Amino acid sequence: MTTRADRTSSPTGPTVADVSGPSRLAEPDEAISAEELQLAARNHGIPLEALRYDVTPAGLHYLLIHYDIPALDPATHTLTIGGAVDRPLTVTLAELRERPRVTRQVTLECAGNGRALLHPRPVSQPWLVEAVGNAEWTGTPLAPLLREAGIDPSAVDVVFTGADHGVERGVEQDYQRALPVADALREEVLLAYEMNGAPLLPQHGAPLRLIVPGWYGMAHVKWVHSIELRTEPFEGYQNAVAYRVRRDADDPGVPVTRIEPRALVRPPGFPDFMSRRRVLRAGPCTLDGRAWSGHAPVVAVEVTIDGGESWAPAELDPTDAGDFAWRRWRYEWVATPGRYVLGARATDASGRTQPVEQPWNRGGFANNMAQRVEVVVPAE
Question: What pLDDT score was predicted for residue 323?
Answer: 94
pLDDT tens-place string over residues 69-83: 999 999 999 999 999
Question: What pLDDT score was predicted for residue 10?
Answer: 52
pTM above 0.75, yes or no: yes
pLDDT tens-place string over residues 176-233: 999 999 999 999 999 999 999 999 999 999 999 999 999 999 999 999 999 999 999 9
pLDDT tens-place string over residues 95-104: 999 999 999 9
Does 262-377 carry CATH code 2.102.10.10? no
Q: Which CATH number applies to 18-255: 3.30.470.20, 3.90.420.10, 3.30.413.10, 3.30.565.10?
A: 3.90.420.10
Domain boundaries, the chain: 18-255, 262-377
Is there a common fold for 18-255 and 262-377? no
Average pLDDT, the chain: 94
Integer distance in angstroms from the first to the last C-alpha of the chain? 66
Predicted confidence (pLDDT) at residue 358 exceeds the cutoff of 70: yes
- At 13, the pLDDT band (50, 70, 90 cuts) reads confident
